[in-house]
Amino acid sequence: EADDRIDEVFVSTNERFAGEFETYLAETAFEKPTLSVEDTTDESEKFGVVGALAQLVDREGIDEDLVVVAGDNLISFDIAEFVDFFADAGEPALAAYDVGSREKAKSYGLVELEGDRVVDFQEKPDDPKSTLVSIACYAFPAERLEDLSTYLEAGENPDEPGWFIQWLQQRRTVRAFTFDGAWFDIGTPESYLDAIEWSLDGGTVVHEDATVTDSQLGETVHVMADATVEDATLERAVVFPEATVRNAEIRGSIIDRETMIGSFDLSGALIGAHTSITDGGQF
C-alpha cells in the first residue's frame, strides 16, 4: 500500500471465497486492492496456479510489470526490498529462502545460484542438493507476461508455479532475491501453528473479549474474541472467535470459530467451524 511504484493490488480468489474477501477489504483502510474473482467454485474447476495467474493477467488486462505473492506466504522482509531488487535486475525474479533442511526442501522448488542468477531450478526434487528454495514470490517484466500463455499453450503443468519457473529459467535469465529472517508456507495446520509461534514469540495471547476460567494456558496459545475456555489445558493451540472449549486438553490444534469441544482431548487436530465434539455427555 505504501509503495508508490505499485499502482494496484489484485486479490485473486475463486467464487467460493469471494464474499469473505469482499467483507475483509471493505473493513480495511487499504485503497489499492481490487478483488479479482475466478469463475470457479471447487477444486475440480480450478485452473491451477499458473493457469489462474494467466487468467488474471487476461481478465484484468495487465500489461505492466507484475509482482506475484502466493496467499499462503508469511514473510518477514518488506516487499519494497524485493521490488528494489527486481527494478535493478530488470529481469524475471524470485525470492529464495534457506529452509535449512533437505527433507523440507523436497516440498519446494530448489534454486541453484551463481551470484544472484538462477542457473538451475528443480521443482520438488527427490534428492535435493541444497536447502535454498523458491517461496512463491515472483516478479515479471511486462514483456515477459506473454510467457505464461506460451507455457500453457505448450501443454505444460498448470498447477505449480515452480514448474513454470523451471521452464522459464531454461529460456530466460532469472534472478533470485535471497533473504534471512522468517518465512512460513502456511498451507498446513502444522506450519500455521509454526507461524503463530513465531508471531507470538512462544507467548500466549488472550483477547480482552474472551473468557478464560479455571484453565492452564501453556506456550503459543491464542484465544480470540468471544471465545470461552473453561476447565481446560491448552498448549500450542489457537481458539477462534465464539468457540467454546470445556473440560478438555488441547495440544497442537486449531479450533475454528463457533466450535464446541466438551470433555474431549485433542492433539494435532484441525477442527472446522461450527463443529460440536463431546464425549457423549451434556455439553
Domains of the chain: 38-185 (3.90.550.10), 190-278 (2.160.10.10)
Strand extents, DSSP E, 57-171 = 66-69, 73-75, 93-98, 109-114, 117-123, 132-140
Rounded Cα distance, 23 and 262, in Å: 31
Residue 90 pLDDT: 94
| % helix, strand, coil for the chain, step of 5 | 25, 35, 40
Kindly state the cell numbers that stand for 192. 500455521
Residue 56 pLDDT: 94
CB atoms within 10 A of CB 29: 5
Residue 38 pLDDT: 87
**Residues with Cβ within 8 Å of residue 257, at least 6 apart in sequence:** 240, 241, 242, 243, 273, 274
Residue 46 pLDDT: 64
Phi then psi dihedrals of residue 28, to 5 deg: -105, 170
| pTM summary value | 0.85
Residue 92 pLDDT: 97
Residue 47 pLDDT: 76
Rounded Cα distance, 91 and 141, in Å: 6
- Assign residue 266 a region: left if phi > 0, alpha if psi is -120 to 50, beta otherwise? beta
CB atoms within 10 A of CB 126: 6
Nearest CA among 47, 35, 6 for reference residue 164: 47
Low pLDDT (below 50) residues in the chain: 281-283
Residue 131 pLDDT: 96
Residue 188 pLDDT: 85
The residue count for the chain: 283
Residue 187 pLDDT: 82
